[in-house]
């Protein structure tokens, strides 16, 4: 199978440039990965399985809290990942760990779910936690590899295509999962879903092996101790104004985005009377459809007008959604809320990663991504419960009004985020000569 895929790449290189072949390798492996991962969506499948094995709501909440700490894995091992000159082999090894649950969980279910449900619950929870920490480690080197193998002007289009395919795959995989789960008894039904997912994600891994990581001319960073590396990360915040502005935009906007979780909660409240089935099913379908369109449209806008402006458009769309929810006269208006917020999500998904890759210097991309996780993860963990408290004590109008104000306030640091001149020129902005990054305030 691998030899067939390698032959397919060689044939493709006869018609496309190596960068073009890399682009479609990333897109195709993303399609199979999206299908496999969405079949066993962690937000739906795992809680149901765990509940059937005897997990309490408190245990599920504790699991999510521990998963929220997965950014610590990046902090502990980033200094080692940064010193790896070629990232492809690192991504492939971590990718095997990421895919391990698709084999381990169905085997545990078939062997233990009936006779030893508690043991089965402990094992599949441990496997999921380990995989979550491996995913946290995988993201920075994968992003670095994307930046090295895809031309800068096509990065936004790559993420747009991948996100659009992911939304479409979510629709298809949801129907397949439902058919398998409804058609077989527990635990065979969930095991079949995981085995199907395993086939898809392994095809994805195989396609990723075909990405050509050309030799890099960037200097190899010497191996640092964890203390030296973390000290250097903190110094980064002091000297890189563009990065500080990027983090400020992400942090402030994330506080506002926390209110998105409560749109459907407010819609099904007695005030608006939307049925739970409509909110869970129709809203999700509308959101997926809108994001498919947005993920195809926004890459073109990002390449034409710049990814920073695209993020500004996304922020305005999110703020409009929050204000519509704050002052909605009836439940029907929440369809507009879903459409606006879904378009905002698509704009973010397409614009944020390319801008991050432009802000981060080439030799320190992984460090910048790790520092972003360390700074922003606690914000997300605190913002959601605070938003819930505001909804409970002050009401929806106050919560969504404050969310809109916060999202619009994030435009201020975003406007001040100015990457290095060569990157800014790629954004279509005429920037005069500027001092080096080290000398910049």
Show me where the domains of the chain are located. Answer: 2-208, 226-426
CB 347 within 8 A of CB 313: yes
* Confidence grade of residue 401 (pLDDT, cut at 50, 70, 90): very high
Helix (H) or strand (E) holding 218: none
What's the pTM? 0.66
CB 376 within 8 A of CB 436: no
* Confidence grade of residue 430 (pLDDT, cut at 50, 70, 90): very low
Q: Please give the C-alpha separations between residue 277 and each of 127, 171, 268, 288, 329, in angstroms, as whole numbers.
A: 32, 16, 10, 16, 21
pLDDT tens readout for residues 136-147: 788 778 878 887
Tell me what the pLDDT averaged over the chain comes to: 79
Question: What's the pLDDT score for residue 435?
Answer: 36
Residues 6+ away with beta carbon under 8 Å from 295: 159, 160, 161, 163, 164, 167, 346, 349, 350
| Helix spans in 240-332 (H) | 241-257, 263-267, 276-277, 283-305, 307-326
Who has greater pLDDT, 205 or 305? Answer: 205
Question: What's the pLDDT score for residue 36?
Answer: 85
Closest to 372 (Cα-Cα) out of 94, 125, 78: 78
Q: Please give the C-alpha separations between residue 390 and each of 316, 397, 403, in angstroms, as whole numbers.
A: 22, 10, 11
Q: How many residues does the chain have?
A: 441
CB neighbours of residue 153 within 10 Å: 12
Residue environment code for 233-246, b if the CB has 16+ CB neighbours within 10 A, otherwise e: beebeeebebbbbb
Q: What is the average per-residue pLDDT within 323-348? A: 91
Half-sphere exposure of 93 (CA within 13 A, CB side): 8
On the 0-12 / 13-18 / 19+ scale of CB atoms within 10 A, 110 is middle
On the 0-12 / 13-18 / 19+ scale of CB atoms within 10 A, 195 is middle
Phi, psi for residue 253 in degrees, rounded to 5: -65, -35
Closest to 440 (Cα-Cα) out of 425, 420, 424: 420
Closest to 255 (Cα-Cα) out of 145, 440, 409, 50: 409
Who has greater pLDDT, 193 or 79? Answer: 193
pLDDT surpasses 60 at 423: no
Do the domains spanning 2-208 and 226-426 agree at the CATH topology level?
Answer: yes
pLDDT surpasses 70 at 8: no
Question: What's the pLDDT score for residue 255?
Answer: 85
pLDDT tens readout for residues 26-52: 888 888 888 888 777 655 577 778 888
**Calpha distance 31→84 (Å, rounded):** 27
pLDDT surpasses 50 at 195: yes
Who has greater pLDDT, 208 or 377? Answer: 208
Residues 6+ away with beta carbon under 8 Å from 368: 236, 243, 356, 359, 360, 361
pLDDT tens readout for residues 46-86: 777 888 888 876 676 567 667 767 667 666 676 666 666 77
pLDDT tens readout for residues 251-301: 898 888 888 878 888 888 888 888 876 775 677 678 878 888 888 888 888
Q: What fold is seen in the domain 226-426?
A: Growth Hormone; Chain: A; (1.20.1250)
CA angle 300, 88, 137 (to 5 degrees): 85
DSSP 8-state secondary structure symbol assigned to residue 410: T
Helix (H) or strand (E) holding 102: helix 101-112
**Calpha distance 54→50 (Å, rounded):** 6
- We find that the CATH architecture of domain 2-208 is Up-down Bundle (1.20)
Residues 6+ away with beta carbon under 8 Å from 156: 298, 299, 302, 303, 307, 310, 350, 351, 353, 354
Whether residue 241 has a cis bond before it, omega within 30° of 0: no
| Helix spans in 306-332 (H) | 307-326
Question: What's the pLDDT score for residue 422?
Answer: 45
**Calpha distance 83→314 (Å, rounded):** 35
Look at the block and give the residue holding tokens 């999110």.
318
């Amino acid at each position: 199978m691998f030899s067939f895929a390698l032959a397919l790449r060689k044939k493709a290189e006869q018609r496309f440039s190596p960068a073009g072949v890399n682009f479609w390798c990333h897109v195709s492996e993303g399609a199979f990965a999206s299908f496999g991962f969405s079949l066993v969506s962690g937000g739906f499948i795992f809680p149901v399985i765990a509940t059937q094995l005897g997990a309490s709501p408190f245990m599920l909440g504790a699991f999510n809290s521990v998963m929220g700490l997965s950014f610590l894995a990046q902090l502990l091992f980033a200094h080692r990942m940064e010193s790896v000159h070629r990232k492809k082999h690192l991504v492939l090894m971590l990718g095997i760990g990421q895919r391990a649950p698709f084999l381990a969980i169905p085997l545990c279910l078939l062997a233990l779910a009936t006779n030893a449900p508690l043991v089965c619950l402990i094992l599949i929870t441990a496997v999921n936690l380990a995989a979550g920490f491996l995913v946290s480690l995988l993201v920075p080197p994968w992003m670095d590899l994307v930046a090295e193998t895809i031309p800068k002007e096509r990065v936004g289009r790559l993420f747009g295509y991948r996100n659009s395919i992911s939304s479409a795959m979510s629709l298809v995989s949801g129907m397949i999962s439902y058919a398998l789960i409804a058609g077989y008894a527990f635990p065979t039904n969930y095991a079949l879903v995981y085995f199907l997912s395993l086939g898809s994600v392994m095809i994805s891994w195989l396609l990723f092996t075909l990405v050509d990581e050309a030799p890099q001319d960037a200097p190899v960073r010497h191996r640092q101790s964890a203390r030296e590396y973390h000290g250097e990360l903190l110094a980064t915040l002091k000297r890189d104004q563009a990065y500080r502005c990027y983090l400020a935009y992400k942090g402030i906007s994330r506080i506002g985005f926390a209110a998105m979780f409560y749109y459907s909660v407010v819609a099904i409240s007695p005030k608006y009377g939307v049925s739970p089935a409509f909110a869970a099913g129709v809203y999700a379908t509308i959101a997926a459809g809108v994001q498919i369109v947005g993920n195809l449209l926004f890459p073109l806008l990002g390449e034409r007008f710049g990814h920073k402006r695209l993020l500004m458009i996304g922020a305005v769309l999110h703020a409009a959604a929050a204000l519509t929810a704050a002052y909605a006269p009836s439940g029907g208006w929440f369809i507009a809320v879903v459409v606006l917020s879904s378009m905002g999500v698509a704009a973010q998904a397409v614009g944020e990663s390319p801008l991050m890759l432009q802000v981060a210097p080439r030799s320190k991309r992984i460090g910048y991504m790790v520092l972003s996780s360390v700074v922003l993860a606690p914000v997300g963990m605190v913002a959601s419960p605070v938003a819930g408290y505001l909804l409970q004590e002050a009401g929806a109008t106050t919560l969504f009004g404050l969310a809109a104000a916060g999202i619009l306030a994030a435009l201020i640091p975003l406007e001040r985020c100015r990457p290095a001149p060569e990157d800014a020129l790629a954004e279509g902005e005429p920037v005069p000569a500027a001092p080096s990054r080290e000398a910049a305030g």
